Homo-oligomer: A and B are copies of this chain.
């Protein structure tokens, strides 16, 4: 099984699926393609929370603000799972969660040794009508369709998801986890991979200080404060304002704010049938202090 996650929107992920289908008959499952654009931390958080529910799989992850720079392309083995994506930290938090007690194995992709992607009708590229004499015989590099066609290098400068990561994921799946060391286009990463440490909250007595990790599509504000700080409380002070604690949205009237524990185990600041981010005035990265109510 291969899962796909990106910040591409549509229809770009379909090209990755096409490339994958040419290399493997594996089942393809979309995780999401509307992750916050170029937001490594948000992607790392969501993937850490979602990927552990899958059976052993190859996870293709393309959230890649540095595409086209010299950042490496990686394959990370994490226990019975493999992750394929850019060396920008997005793979590490989910990899650590997936690996459990196993050590991570990290490989760098040599994209020049990867079998290139060959689209159907590949010999025809962008074309234009050439008006000048130099162009008329088709010999000018400016005329599309020749070797200068940007689609025919070893990899497009802007679509490594299609040209590097998808073929790599397909081949990783076909080879199997125990053969990663034998793949000639993979080499052990000598240095440490770039990491993305999701910030941890500090908890002391009756006070927790953390921050907003992400805001989901419904406006729910997901903090990095462990949910057990809410245990046994009916109310809590959030950045100076007292709000009720509820097990579910339905614990408060429609339109009212509450603090609850999300499915990921962290404190969420929500509004029943409304947007928590607007009601609390919070966005990703903002500081959140939770304090017990003085009775």
Q: Are A162 and B273 in contact (CB under 8 A)?
A: no
Chain A interface: which size bin?
35 or more
Judge if A202 is at the interface, Cβ distance under 8 Å: yes
Q: Nearest B residue to A147 by beta-carbon distance?
A: B228
Kindly provide the distance from the CB of A24 to the nearest chain B CB, expressed in whole angstroms: 11
Kindly provide the distance from the CB of A251 to the nearest chain B CB, expressed in whole angstroms: 8
State A7–B129 Cα separation when bound (angstroms): 31
Q: Are A265 and B150 in contact (CB under 8 A)?
A: yes
Chain A 11-53: CB-based contact to B (< 8 A → 1; otherwise 0): 1101101110110000111111111011000000010011111
State A251–B65 Cα separation when bound (angstroms): 11
State A64–B260 Cα separation when bound (angstroms): 17
Q: Are A158 and B261 in contact (CB under 8 A)?
A: yes
Q: Tell me which residues across on chain B come within 8 A of A218, comparing CB atoms.
A: 9, 37
State A66–B167 Cα separation when bound (angstroms): 38
The stretch of A135-143, A171-179, A180-188, A278-286 that contacts the partner chain: A135-143
Kindly provide the distance from the CB of A84 to the nearest chain B CB, expressed in whole angstroms: 17
Query: 18 new A-B pairs (CB below 8 Å) besides A79-B121, A130-B202, A143-B203?
Result: A9-B218, A10-B34, A12-B263, A14-B31, A14-B32, A28-B29, A68-B249, A69-B248, A97-B121, A98-B121, A126-B224, A130-B204, A150-B228, A150-B265, A151-B264, A151-B265, A158-B247, A162-B263
A interface with B by C-beta (< 8 Å):
1, 3, 5, 9-12, 14-15, 17-19, 21-22, 27-35, 37-38, 46, 49-55, 57, 65-69, 79-81, 96-100, 117, 119-132, 134-135, 141-144, 146, 148-151, 156-159, 162-163, 200-205, 208, 210, 216-218, 224-229, 231, 247-251, 260-266, 273
